Amino acid sequence: MNLLRALPLALCLALAACNASHGASPANAPRVEGEVLATVNGVPVTRDEVQGAAHGSLSHGGGAPERNDDALARLIDDELLAQRAVATGLDRDPAFREELRVAEARFRVWRRTQLAALIERRTNDADAGVSDADARRWYEANTARARSEVRVAQILLRDEGAAAQALRELRGGASFDDVARRLAPPSTDPAERPWVIGPLRWHQLPDAWRAPLDALRVDEVSEVIRGPNRRFWILKLLERRENTELTFASTRATIAQVLRDERAATERTRLHDELRRGARIVYSAPAPGR
C-alpha cells in the first residue's frame, strides 16, 4: 500500500508486548484479536504474534524462519521477563519510554495512513467510473490537446527565492541553457542537456504545467510555476506539434484513465473539504522544521 506497509507486524507485536506487560493479570489482561495459543499470567499470546516472531527471527541473523513452537516458547519467556521488568519499575526507564513513544507514534501514523487510503480507494471505486461515451465526448471537445506533443526545457528548484532569481536572470537576457546548466546537480555531464524533455503528450504533463504551457508560444519562458512538495519550475516551450496518429481509438484507454484520475482527485478534494468543514482542528504548537 505504501512504504509503511512493512511496519505494522513487528511494531504491533512490540506495542502489544509493552501494553500487555503493564500490570497485566487475568482480571485486566488486554483484549486481543486472533487465535490465542497461550496465556502468561492472564496475558494472551496469539498465533499472529507467534508467526510474526518466527519470521522476524530472519532479521536477527537466522538462516530460516524459527519453528512456531520455538517462537511460542521464546515469547512466553519474553512475556515473563517483561512482566518482571514492569514489577521492578523498568518500564519507567527513560530510554525505554522514549523508544516506546516513537514506536507508538509510528503505529499511529501507519494506522491513519492505511485507513485514509482505504476510504479514498472505496470512494474512488464508487464514483470514478468512465464510460466509452464519456471518453469520446472528451476527445471530440479536446482533439487538439489530445494530439498535441511538446518539448520543453525546465528549471526545477526547491527554493522559491532561487527560482525568482533565476527568472530575473532569464528576463534580463540570460540563456536558458546557461542558467539551467548552472543550477543543475554537480554530477550533470556538461555535454548533456537533461533539462530538455519530450516529446510529452498532454497526459504526461504535471498538472501544474498544463495551464502555463497552454499560454506559451514556442521559445517563450513561463513565470515561476508552483507545484506540490515545494517544487518551483520555470519552463521554456521549445516545440509544439500535432501528432495526427493519435486518434480516439489509440488514445481511448489513456483518456479514460485520466478522466478517472481527475474524477477521483475531485472527489478526494470534496471529501477533504467536507471533513475539514465539520471538524474542530486546534493547533497547539507549530510543526517542527526540517
Provide the pLDDT for residue 1.
Answer: 40
Is residue 98 packed enough to be buried (19+ CB in 10 Å), middle (13-18) or exposed (0-12)? exposed
pLDDT of residue 184: 85
Mean pLDDT of 105-113: 96
What value does the mean pLDDT take over residues 210-217? 93
pLDDT at 2 over 60: no
Cβ contact 191:183 at 8 Å: no
Q: What is the pLDDT of residue 57?
A: 52
The percentage of residues in the chain with a pLDDT greater than 90, rounded to a whole number, is 61
pLDDT confidence of residue 162: 95
Segment 138-155 shows an average pLDDT of 93
Over residues 120-137, the pLDDT tens digits come to: 888 766 556 788 899 999
Q: What is the pLDDT of residues 36-48, one digit of tens each?
A: 999 999 999 999 9
pLDDT higher than threshold 60 for residue 14: no
Contact 265, 124 (CB under 8 A): no
> Residue 3: which pLDDT band, with cuts at 50, 70 and 90?
very low
Residue 15: the pLDDT is: 53
Q: Quick one: pLDDT at residue 188?
A: 67
Q: To the nearest whole number, what is the mean pLDDT of the chain?
A: 85
CATH number of 134-242: 3.10.50.40
pLDDT on residue 289? 63
The model's pTM is: 0.62
SS3 157: strand
Domain boundaries, the chain: 3-124, 134-242
Average pLDDT over residues 92-97: 96
Residue 146 CA to residue 114 CA, distance in Å, equals 35
- How far is it, in rounded angstroms, from Cα 67 to Cα 241? 64
Average pLDDT of span 59-80: 78
How much is the average pLDDT of 202-224?
Answer: 93
pLDDT tier for residue 226 given thresholds of 50, 70 and 90: very high
